[in-house]
Structure 1
Amino acid sequence: MPHPLRVGLVGYGSAAKTFHAPLISATPGLELVAVASRRPDQVRAERPSLEVEATPEALFARADIDLVVIPTPNETHHALARAALLAGKHVVVDKPFTVTVAEARELEALARDAGRVLSVFHNRRWDADFLTLQALLDEGRLGRVVQFESHFDRFRPEVPQRWRESAASAGSGLWYDLGPHLVDQALQLFGQPLGISLTRTTLRDGAEVDDYFHALLRYERLQVILHASTLTAEPGARFAMHGTAASYLKHGLDEQEAALKAGLFPPDADWGRDERDGILTEWHDGQPGHERVPTRRGDYPAYYAALRDAIRHGAANPVPAADAIAVMRVIEAGCLSAAEGREVPFAAEEVVA
């Protein structure tokens, strides 16, 4: 029986503690063995079994590490992933993949040449409500979709002191933070848009970077709106999808992040459960009929299970670099749109031999 894939974690900040360490530890066939951190006492206090390396380079040099996970500030993703791939490791990079498309493409080519699995942690493909929405589309319940709105709204009026809020950090701000989640979901549903128009701005007192965005992705006979704000005390629908046969509205955010922050980990019996069901509205004889659609269970653990199988057995990469590059193309085009106040059209992506 093969030994578990041994995992090294770069950094022990919020993303590492909240998402990656618990999900790796809950995945059969993966073993979290070491972390690179400048705060060894904190790591040992919370996870005494983990070995602590002083630098990422020391972690990458370990012969007993098969997979490196990089949930670090966005501007460090490219250099760290590059170094890990050159050290012969399989690599997971947290979203956003990189800060630029050029960096993302370089990493994809490097992984391909090295024969290593490179994957990006777009975990919200496994949100409970998104899985439910995909199922409704697969069943054809809405007919031809003509409008889709995806909102990720929070009420956080105070500006925290962290790199995500600092103008000095490349890839900071809400568009780079939540935009990749919403863009990836839209691309999974509808593919590449024909163009993007983005507004992003600062709303909170003292904010240095964008804390609000509103993006319009244009498709043939379809409008997609992606929206996020830090000053929405009473959020509207998380998802609103309208088609020629019906509409679907769902309120509330997926519960898995909140569960992880509360110290609940898979395989907890209630893992991934969302008690807030969506509503499907269909018209019959001139009258609306409303049907409650049970929300499927969310499944963040599916990402690392699929990654394990991709490395061990050559199964499909759960989020290949090509998917994450497609997201970064939209993110980068959105930046240009916001800066120039115009729609930025998309050319067809070139095929890499």
Structure 2
Amino acid sequence: MQKIKTALLSYGMSGKVFHAPFLDFHPGFELVGSWERSKQLIQLDYPNVKSYATIEELLEDDIDLVVVNTPVGTHFEYAKQVLLARKNAVVEKAFTTTVAEAQELVNLAKEKGLKLSVFQNRRWDSDLKTVQKVVSDKVLGELVEAEFHFDRYNPFLSPKGHKETANSGAGILKDLGPHLIDQALYLFGFPQGVFADIRVTREHSLVDDWIDILLYYSDFRVRLKAGFFVREANPAYVIHGKKGSFLKPRGDVQEDELKQGKKPNLTTWGKEASGNEGLLHTEIDDKIIKEKIPTLQGNYYGFFEGVYQSIVNDFEEPVTAKEGLQVMQIIEAAIESNAQGKVVVL
């Protein structure tokens, strides 16, 4: 099996929790090391890998793939360096800070003949996979509206400075927003217009921490909401059609289990505990049904398998750079809509 030599650009929470365990587990990847600016931690977990002192040292090494998992404001600069060094790249969300930056990366990857993917791991959440099946099965009839939430209760500012200082990559719109937007575009396609309300709700916050985004499609609407003052969470996914409704609470276990140090596998990984099943209330074959729907298994391994196949067999990336660009188009439209107080036509 061909090995893809892979390096990370940081080994903080995202590198330790979301990337290294899957790169280590997938037989097609060889985790070579990580750029670590101060603390050298990756070798505590993976003794045989390297800790690079600079990005230049990393890019000069025999590396096939680089994961750009640094703060959002640095994504464009570092991803561009990676592509210019003729390495394939995976870039975390938000892909960039502007549409112009995203388009430049799309063009550069195409010019160099390299694979460029955006790490939208939430497509492989058990929640979203279940919602996708309900939508694709068309058991709700013609869709009227959908509402996706990423709710948290956390009134305190993050200790991570880059998340709370006023910079181009900070704020909930570019933190949780890309998850919600990508899922909406993944399920329903690109909308015709955007209306957004973006607020600051936490005391002393310098960045946006509450969003309400309405996506306009020709015959239905999709609302995306996220904030830090939701002690009692709403259903994460609410979809209403002309025949019925589907409500699904957020229940994916992968992030929590990864933070606990558990290692992924292909059999039991990503299975929700009972009690978080979605409720389907609809009409099928002239019969009204109201029942809990079993939750499908989630597994972020699917993203990494997609990256592997894209590089080794020239398949399309599991989340393309163009899809990352479209998310940035929605984000920029949301900022414009909030500033002008009107719908922005796409």
Q: TM-score range by the shorter chain?
A: over 0.9
Change (3 A) 1:51 1:168: same
Change (3 A) 1:343 1:163: farther
The aligned counterpart of 2:20 is 21
> How far is 1:52 from its partner?
0.9
Q: How many residue pairs end up in the alignment?
A: 344
Superposed, 1:107-256 pairs within 5 Å as 107-256=105-254
The 8 Å contact of residues 92 and 119 in structure 1, kept in 2 or not, is answered as: yes
Instruction: Report the residue type matching 1:218 in the other structure.
Output: Y
The aligned counterpart of 2:43 is 44
Change (3 A) 1:285 1:27: closer
Superposed, 1:267-306 pairs within 5 Å as 267=265, 269-275=267-273, 276-282=276-282, 289-306=289-306
- C-alpha distance after superposition, 1:17-64 (max 9, x if no partner): 1101112112111011111111343233333222011111110111x1
The 8 Å contact of residues 163 and 169 in structure 1, kept in 2 or not, is answered as: no
In 1, distance between residues paired with 2:53 and 2:162? 24
In 1, distance between residues paired with 2:283 and 2:120? 36
In 2, distance between residues paired with 1:229 and 1:211? 6
Change (3 A) 1:268 1:311: closer
Instruction: Report the residue type matching 2:321 in the other structure.
Output: A
The 8 Å contact of residues 148 and 239 in structure 1, kept in 2 or not, is answered as: yes
In 2, distance between residues paired with 1:306 and 1:130? 17
In 2, distance between residues paired with 1:236 and 1:323? 28
In 2, distance between residues paired with 1:14 and 1:214? 27
Q: Quick check: 1:96 aligned with 2:94?
A: yes
Runs of 4+ in 1 over 4 A off after TM superposition: 283-288
In 2, distance between residues paired with 1:157 and 1:71? 25
Q: Quick check: 1:332 aligned with 2:339?
A: no
> How far is 1:204 from its partner?
1.3
> How far is 1:271 from its partner?
0.9
In 2, distance between residues paired with 1:319 and 1:285? 36
> How far is 1:283 from its partner?
5.1
The aligned counterpart of 2:65 is 67
The aligned counterpart of 1:350 is none
> How far is 1:163 from its partner?
3.6
Q: Quick check: 1:32 aligned with 2:43?
A: no
In 2, distance between residues paired with 1:14 and 1:284? 45
The 8 Å contact of residues 164 and 177 in structure 1, kept in 2 or not, is answered as: no
Instruction: Report the residue type matching 1:171 in the other structure.
Output: G
The 8 Å contact of residues 166 and 206 in structure 2, kept in 1 or not, is answered as: no
Instruction: Report the residue type matching 1:331 in the other structure.
Output: I
In 1, distance between residues paired with 2:39 and 2:47? 10
- C-alpha distance after superposition, 1:153-173 (max 9, x if no partner): 011111122145323332100
In the superposition, the TM-score normalised over structure 1's length comes to 0.94
The 8 Å contact of residues 7 and 65 in structure 1, kept in 2 or not, is answered as: yes
- C-alpha distance after superposition, 1:199-228 (max 9, x if no partner): 111111121111111111111120110000
Instruction: Report the residue type matching 2:100 in the other structure.
Output: A
Percent identity (aligned): 39
Change (3 A) 1:88 1:284: closer
1:259 to 257, 260, 274: 257
The 8 Å contact of residues 126 and 295 in structure 2, kept in 1 or not, is answered as: yes
> How far is 1:285 from its partner?
12
In 1, distance between residues paired with 2:314 and 2:160? 38
Task: Flag structure 1 segments of 5+ consecutive residues without an equivalent.
Answer: 347-353
The 8 Å contact of residues 254 and 269 in structure 2, kept in 1 or not, is answered as: yes
CA RMSD in angstroms, aligned pairs only: 1.7
In 2, distance between residues paired with 1:134 and 1:41? 41
The aligned counterpart of 1:312 is 312
Where 1:107 maps in the other structure, the secondary structure is helix
- C-alpha distance after superposition, 1:80-105 (max 9, x if no partner): 01111111101010011100010011
The 8 Å contact of residues 126 and 300 in structure 1, kept in 2 or not, is answered as: yes
